[in-house]
Structure 1
Amino acid sequence: MYFRHSNEMWSEFPELVPGVLFAEGISADAIVTDRIASYHATAAERLAQGSESEMPEIQAWRRSFSKMGLKPTQYRCASEALLRRFRQEGSLPQLHPLVDLCNAVSIAFVIPVAVFDLAKITGDLEVRHAGGSESYLTFSGETEHPEPGEVIFADTIGQAHARRWTNRQSGRSAVREDTKSVLIVAEALHDSASADVPHLIGMIAAELASVWSVEARSGLLSRSSPRFDLSSAMNLQPEQKRG
C-alpha cells in the first residue's frame, strides 16, 4: 500500500510540499485538551494580526482553487474553513482526540491536515483527477460522484476519500472510536512550505509519541520522490518499530 500524488498533479502544482505520517495504536480515550489549547492560542495570535484570507498560506490555496476552476470563497481548503469557524466561534467542535489535535495543529500552522482511517481504504491512495466513475460517501451517508477532472483522494477501487483536493473529506474513512491505524497528510503551497511542513509533521509525530506512545513513520514527498510506502511500515514487528 502506498500514498502518492499523480504526475499530473506535480506538473500542475510544482510548488506543492506534502508531508505524511503513518501511525498504529490510536485510541479514542486520550486527553488532549491542554495541547489543543496551546495550538488554539497560536492560531488566535495569527488571527489578531489579520483575517485568515490575508494569510499567505491561505492565499496560495485560493490561487490553486481558482486554477482548478473553483470559487475560492465557495470552496475553501480545510485549514481556511477551520480558521474561519475558529474566528467566528472561538473554538472548534470535539470529534476525536486525534482529529481534534490535528485540527488544532492545522489552524496553528494554517496548513490543511487530513486524517484517514487506513482500515477503510482499499489498496493504494492517490491524489489525482477524477475520471467520473468514483464514489464519495458524505458524512450524512449519501453517495456522490465527483465530476471528471476534479482533484480527489482516490483508492484502488475508486472510492474518493476527499473531494476538491483539501476541501472536504469523506465519511467513509473518517476517524472513529474504533480507529487503530491512520494516515495523516499535510499539504502546502506557500513560499515557506518547504520549512513549515517538516515542522508541522515533526510536531504531530511528537504529539503521537507523547499522547499515544506510538512511533509514527513520516516522510516528505516531492516530484522526484512522490511515493510514501506504507506496506513496509505496516509489516514491521513492534520491536522493529521501536528500534
Structure 2
Amino acid sequence: MLGKVTVDPSFWELFPDAQVNIMLVSGIDNHDTDDNLARRRKLLREGSDKAEDFLGAAAFAKNPVVAEWRQAYQQFKKKKGVRASIEALLKRIDKGEDLHPISPLVDVYNSVSLAHGVPIGIEDQDKLAGTMHLGQVHEGLPFQPVGADKDEPTLEGEVAWYDDQGAVCRCLNWRDAQRTMLDEDSTKGVIVIESVNADQAQRANEAMSDLEELLEEFFGIKPDKSVILTKDAPSVDVD
C-alpha cells in the first residue's frame, strides 16, 4: 500500500523549474453503468474538441505541447521512439480518431488531459508498495507494461516513477505498469501531472481544478489531498 509520494533530487537536477501535482482520492466506484457510459462518451468528445487548441501546426512535432515534451525527453535515457503520454493522445486527435471509453476514472482524466494539454496518470494506491518515487534510476528495475506479457526493465539513467517493488511508470509518463494499473475494482488512486515549465504548470493547476469538479460529479467524492510538489517541498505523506 502507498505510504508516501516523493520526487528525488535527481529529477530536480534535470528539471529545476518543474512541479508535480499530486491528488489522492478514495471511495471510487470504477464500474461501468449505462448512465455513466453515455456521460463519459460526451466528456471524451468535449475533451477531444478542446484538444484542437493545442494542434494546428503544419507539422505535428511543431505544436508547442508536443515540442516541449520532446525537448524534455532529450534530458534522460529512454527507449527509442518513446513519447510523453499527452503526445500520444494528441496524435490520435490529430489523426481524427475517436477516443472510446475505458473505465470511469480513466475516461475522466483522459478528457481533462486533452482539454488542458497535460499528461495525467493514475495508479491504484492499494497496489503500490511503500514510497512512490519520481527520479533517475541507476539499475534495471522490473517493469511489465500494461497489456504486455514479459518484463521490460528500466534503463540506466532513465527517469521513472518507481516504488519498493519496481518501476511504476517508465520514461516519466510514457507507459504504466500492469502491476499498479487501475481496474474496475480499484477504489483508491494517486493522480499525477508533471510539468517542466511555468506554462505547463498553470495548465496543470487548472486541470486539477477541473478534475476535482468531475470527481464530485461522477463519483460523489472530494480529494483526500491535492498538493503541488516542488524542489523545495518534494514529498507528501498519504496519511
Partners of 1:137 and 1:71 lie apart in 2 by 15
Partner of 1:228: 236
**Pick from 87, 90, 95: which aligns with 1:80?**
87
Q: CA deviation at 1:190?
A: 3.5
Are the aligned partners of 2:54 and 2:117 in contact in 1 as well (CA < 8 Å)? no
Partner of 1:34: 42
Partner of 1:237: none
**Pick from 4, 17, 23: which aligns with 2:25?**
23
Superimposed CA distance per residue, residues 15-41 of structure 1 (whole angstroms, 9 cap, x where no aligned partner): 212111111111223612222222121
Partners of 1:48 and 1:64 lie apart in 2 by 21
What does residue range 212-227 of structure 1 map to in structure 2 within 5 Å? 212-216=219-223, 217-227=225-235
Partners of 1:114 and 1:50 lie apart in 2 by 29
Identical pairs, percent? 22
Q: CA deviation at 1:55?
A: 2.9
Q: Does 1:184 align with 2:162?
A: no
CA RMSD, aligned part only? 1.9
Q: CA deviation at 1:133?
A: 4.0
Q: Does 1:127 align with 2:130?
A: no
Are the aligned partners of 1:52 and 1:80 in contact in 2 as well (CA < 8 Å)? no
Gap change, CA 1:52 and 1:200, over 3 Å in 2: farther
Amino acid at match of 2:12: W
Q: 4+ runs of 1 displaced by more than 6 Å?
A: none
Partners of 1:226 and 1:105 lie apart in 2 by 24
Aligned length: 229
Partner of 1:151: 159
**Pick from 8, 13, 16: which aligns with 1:14?**
16
Gap change, CA 1:10 and 1:45, over 3 Å in 2: closer
Partners of 2:47 and 2:194 lie apart in 1 by 18
Partners of 1:60 and 1:44 lie apart in 2 by 17
Partners of 1:224 and 1:198 lie apart in 2 by 18
Partners of 1:219 and 1:101 lie apart in 2 by 19
